[in-house]
Amino acid sequence: MSGKLWGGRFTKSAEEWVDEFGASISFDQELVLEDIQGSLAHVAMLQKTGILTQEEAGQITDGLKTLQKRAEHDELSFKVEMEDIHLNLESMLIAEIGPVGGKLHTGRSRNDQVATDLHLYMRTQAKEVITLISGLQKAIVQKAEENVETLIPGYTHLQRAQPISFAHHLMAYFWMLERDKQRFQESLKRINISPLGAGALAGTTFPIDRHYSAELLGFEGIYENSLDAVSDRDFALEFLSNSATMMMHLSRFSEEIILWSSQEFQFIELDDAFSTGSSIMPQKKNPDMAELIRGKTGRVYGNLTGLLTVLKGLPLAYNKDMQEDKEGVFDTVKTVLGSLKIFTGMISTLKVKKEVMEKATKNDFSNATELADYLASKGMPFREAHEVVGKLVLFCVQKGCYLADLPLNQFKQASSLFEEDIYEALNPYQAVKRRNSAGGTGFEQVRSALEKASKILI
């Protein structure tokens, strides 16, 4: 025997570097508590079904609890020769309570064990992500509530298009995050099922009770097919894909924060805690955290692509390739949780430079649509109105002025429909206020959206 727990099948002990290459303990120790949790449920099931005696199960349970306490205090030291978290813990258990510890693995395999661990881990982490998304949404709502009547240019093609409420702009991200949160919530029903008891691939000859261990672990059901239970990682892919979409949203928001805090825009100022200076240019205040979140989005995409690629060619059932599922998942969890925490702090502390934003809505042609709407509301076909206003804009550009600077007779020359109230229509505040269609930027709409949002967050 080579000293390994599966050593019966091998005559020679593997070279050290092969051990190291094949081992996953350096990263799957992240699953130590989940592995013990799964084993505790498994041994309780073995006792209930009479596969182990009460005494055997009692000894194993006590041993596992001892290991659990040590794990919680970070007192376990793992060995590369023991390959992974499952074999490390099993050998520690045997060292702790003697050969009876070897009975724990009755009716299960590392294949259903690792899948169970990962389901338990993903369940905890998905819930944590959901909580942190809610926290960020709260910060957005708060900032938005302070800025309902703050005007900012709205853009298309990064060209000024129409003035909008800054709160409306912020709230666009609230709703994106709301859908992100829902995706994580909905994924929980696929994460929360038990692969335990699927065995290596085919089930087991022991009279196990999979429903019982599933129930002990808080799973809502069991995988119906033992091959499926140990072969798929679509629940992890779903988490990665939901994370990728959410990071894409955070990345776009980051990009806007970076633009808005630039010298060119000067719409916001980031708190010192979320920006850094330059080692050479004393004037600099860099939006590092926003840039990093934008940058880290790339690694989450990479982790998703990585796991999709690992899985695409695998015949059923378990293949060692699947050991590659974990690092990308752990890295994504760390990245997503970190990004959400940082983003929440960055949003709640940023200073809005209302005057600069509002000034930007005045010195441009983003009120041109108002003119066209004005004519259209007086009966002129919109296409014609568009043409009339286009000519007025050209006239202003050539003269070096804005629409509101033109005298009334100039407007009247372009169309007899123009009256004195045209100046009111050109005012960006009025332009925003009047866009009162459902989901639009009108202040009334924004206020009712904020109310709806606050109810969602309770």
In the complex with ligand ARG, the residue whose CB is nearer, 73 or 320, is: 320
Interaction of residue 88 with ligand ARG, rule CB under 6 A: no
CA 268 to chain centroid, in Å, comes to 25
- C-beta of 262: minimal distance to ligand ARG in Å? 46
Active site residue 339: no
Of the candidates 26, 278, 377, 448, the residue annotated as catalytic is 278
* Residues 111-150 as x/- pattern, contact with ligand ARG by CB under 6 A: x--x------------------------------------
Interaction of residue 110 with ligand ARG, rule CB under 6 A: yes
Given a contact cutoff of 8 angstroms between Cβ atoms, the answer to whether 93 and 71 are in contact is no
Given a contact cutoff of 8 angstroms between Cβ atoms, the answer to whether 276 and 202 are in contact is no
DSSP string for 128-147:
HHHHHHHHHHHHHHHHHHTT
Of the candidates 157, 279, 416, 437, the residue annotated as catalytic is 157
Going by C-beta distance under 8 Å and a sequence separation of 6 or more, which residues neighbour residue 73? none
Compute how many residues bind ligand ARG; rule: CB under 6 A. 10
Going by C-beta distance under 8 Å and a sequence separation of 6 or more, which residues neighbour residue 351? 268, 269, 270, 271
In the complex with ligand ARG, the residue whose CB is nearer, 239 or 443, is: 239
Q: What are phi and psi of 194, to 5 degrees?
A: -100, 125
- C-beta of 312: minimal distance to ligand ARG in Å? 17
DSSP code, position 274: G
- C-beta of 40: minimal distance to ligand ARG in Å? 19
- C-beta of 23: minimal distance to ligand ARG in Å? 8
- C-beta of 201: minimal distance to ligand ARG in Å? 9
Matching residue, tokens 């033992």? 226
* Residues 322-361 as x/- pattern, contact with ligand ARG by CB under 6 A: xx--------------------------------------
Whether the bond between 385 and the residue before it is cis, its omega within 30 degrees of 0, is no
- C-beta of 197: minimal distance to ligand ARG in Å? 16
Interacting stretch for ligand ARG, rule CB under 6 A, among 8-16, 109-117, 173-181, 212-220?
Answer: 109-117
Active site residue 211: no
Q: What are phi and psi of 424, to 5 degrees?
A: -65, -45
* Residues 20-49 as x/- pattern, contact with ligand ARG by CB under 6 A: ----x---x---------------------
Q: Which helix (H) or strand (E) holds 151?
A: strand 151-156
Measured CA to CA in angstroms, residue 397 lies from 260, 369, 406 at distances of: 26, 16, 12
Residue nearest to ligand ARG (CB): 84
- C-beta of 117: minimal distance to ligand ARG in Å? 9
DSSP code, position 276: B
Interacting stretch for ligand ARG, rule CB under 6 A, among 68-76, 107-115, 186-194, 355-363?
Answer: 107-115
Interaction of residue 226 with ligand ARG, rule CB under 6 A: no
In the complex with ligand ARG, the residue whose CB is nearer, 93 or 164, is: 93
In the complex with ligand ARG, the residue whose CB is nearer, 110 or 353, is: 110
Pick the binder of ligand ARG from 35, 84, 112, 180 (CB under 6 A).
84
Site for ligand ARG in 262-321 (CB under 6 A): 318, 320
In the complex with ligand ARG, the residue whose CB is nearer, 28 or 81, is: 28
In the complex with ligand ARG, the residue whose CB is nearer, 318 or 443, is: 318
Q: Which helix (H) or strand (E) holds 162?
A: strand 159-165
Long-range contacts of 64-73 (CB under 8 A, 24+ apart): 64/36, 64/39, 64/40, 64/93, 64/104, 65/40, 66/96, 67/36, 67/92, 67/93, 67/96, 68/33, 68/36, 68/40, 71/32, 71/33, 71/36, 72/33
**364-380 burial by CB neighbour count: b if 16+ within 10 A, else e?**
bbbbbbbbbbbbbeeeb
Site for ligand ARG in 6-25 (CB under 6 A): 24
- How many CB atoms within 10 Å of residue 77? 9
- C-beta of 198: minimal distance to ligand ARG in Å? 12
**Which residues form the interface with ligand ARG (CB under 6 A)?**
24, 28, 84, 110-111, 114, 318, 320, 322-323
Residues marked as catalytic: 157, 278
